[in-house]
Amino acid sequence: MAKITYIQPDGSARTCVNFEGMTLMHLAVGNLVDGIDALCGGMMQCGTCHCYIDDAWTERVGPPSDDEAAMLEALADSVDVRPTSRLSCQIQLGEELDGLVVHIPSDQPGV
Ligand code: FES
């Protein structure tokens, strides 16, 4: 079990409990967290699951894969992509991420 906190652009926070095998995106969608639309269902084709990993957690979460990095680069034309940007559908949650904090962008691509 891991508790994950999603922080909205207005500063409001929501903590959700992860069950084994979920991604950061699935946890958000399953708990109706605003701002994670995940329109492609985790196929890494929409970018609407974009989020920012809190600075304190970037090292533990790790870098994006080459494919994810390419998708993030493509998104930079339409949304604010930062060094801490990740696609939440590509982050598998486990005990090691208990306490993870992520920030929801103010805009998602095409939404
Ligand atoms: Fe579409 Fe992550 S859900 S890219």
**pLDDT of res. 101:** 98
Ligand 1 centroid–CA 107 distance in Å is 14
Separation of CA 61 from chain center: 11
- H/E stretch holding 67 reads helix 66-75
* Sequence-ordered strand ranges (E) for 1-111: 2-7, 13-18, 50-53, 85-87, 101-103
Q: Give the three-class secondary structure for 59.
A: helix
Tell me the per-residue pLDDT of 6-62, one tens digit each, with 9 for 90 and over. 999 999 999 999 988 899 999 999 999 999 999 999 999 999 999 999 999 999 999
Q: Give the three-class secondary structure for 92.
A: strand
Ligand 1 centroid–CA 6 distance in Å is 17
- Ligand 1 pocket residue status of 78, Cβ below 6 Å: no
pTM for the structure as a whole? 0.95
**pLDDT of res. 109:** 87
Which sign, positive or negative, has the C-alpha torsion 56, 62, 68, 74?
positive
